[in-house]
Amino acid sequence: MFRSTTRICGHTFVPRLINSSSIVLDLGAFDGDFASAVIERFHCRVISAEPVKELLDRIVPNALHQVLPVAVGGKNQTIEINVYDSRCASVFGSTSSVERAIAQSVEMITLSEFCRRTGTEHIDLLKLDIEGAEIDMFDNTTDQDLRSATQITTEFHDFIYPEQGAAVARIRERMSDIGFWVLPFSLDNTDVLFLNKNSGVSSTEVAYLRSFVRYGKGIVRRLRRVAF
């Protein structure tokens, strides 16, 4: 039996598609934990985007890790990002009357511009955790640019912003139409893997991932919740 998936910082992907020659894009690096874990395991290059200064200062320097102090979204522009005490920073406003945020002015760029600046032509793994901005990012990225990724592990944020639910469903349908298998590894949309059909992963493997791995992980999470 093939080795199926691995999960790092809540993001599931197929590890056998990553090696020391791979390029991993980590959009929404936070404090660098995902990048550090990927480098430790695969010894490959990771290029991150993280716009929040306080988080950038916490990322431990590594020769294999390049960090750009930018947000990634749907346009090349300067934006105000809201830095919250109780959750991750977001370009979106508060969802609660008691939630407080401090605004920081940051640069936002598109995925295409991010790849241009870093000289990235092919992406072996794209990790997206950009706090709701993934909707605009997908909507403003061409099919060709998306197909340059072997796999895209995404945390959608319709659990915070329910109004994004229809857009998430539309993106999942689009990704299927342009040549990706859509593999949800969560009971919501917080861990969705888009796997390029040209990745070399067989339909048999995909069937396994869709059944045993998906439902097995769901059962484990439910048991953990019961335990607490």
Q: Does the residue 98 lie in any domain?
A: no
154/83: higher pLDDT: 154
Q: The sheet that has 101-109: what strands, in order across it?
A: 71-72, 101-109, 77-84
pLDDT over 90 (residue 224):
no
What is the spatial distance between Cα 60 and Cα 73, in angstroms, rounded to a whole number?
25
Q: Does the residue 100 lie in any domain?
A: no
β partners of residue 47 = 25, 66
Q: Does the residue 87 lie in any domain?
A: no
Q: Does the residue 101 lie in any domain?
A: no
Find the CATH number of the domain harbouring 116.
3.40.50.150
What is the spatial distance between Cα 29 and Cα 67, in angstroms, rounded to a whole number?
9
pLDDT of residue 199: 95
Q: What is the pLDDT of residues 43-96, one digit of tens each?
A: 999 999 999 988 999 999 999 999 999 999 999 999 888 777 666 667 766 555
Q: What is the pLDDT of residues 92-141, one digit of tens each?
A: 665 555 667 778 889 999 999 999 999 999 999 999 999 889 999 999 99
Q: Does the residue 104 lie in any domain?
A: no
Q: Does the residue 144 lie in any domain?
A: yes
pLDDT of residue 200: 92
pLDDT over 50 (residue 220):
no
pLDDT of residue 26: 98
Q: Does the residue 145 lie in any domain?
A: yes
pLDDT over 90 (residue 215):
no
Q: Does the residue 159 lie in any domain?
A: yes
Q: What range defines the domain where residue 206 resides?
A: 6-74+110-227
The answer to whether residues 194 and 177 touch, using CB atoms and an 8 Å cutoff, is no
Determine the average pLDDT of the residues in 197-202: 94
- Give the count of domains, the chain: 1
Confidence of residue 1 (pLDDT cuts 50, 70, 90): very low
Q: Is 26 left (phi over 0), alpha (psi -120 to 50) or beta?
A: beta
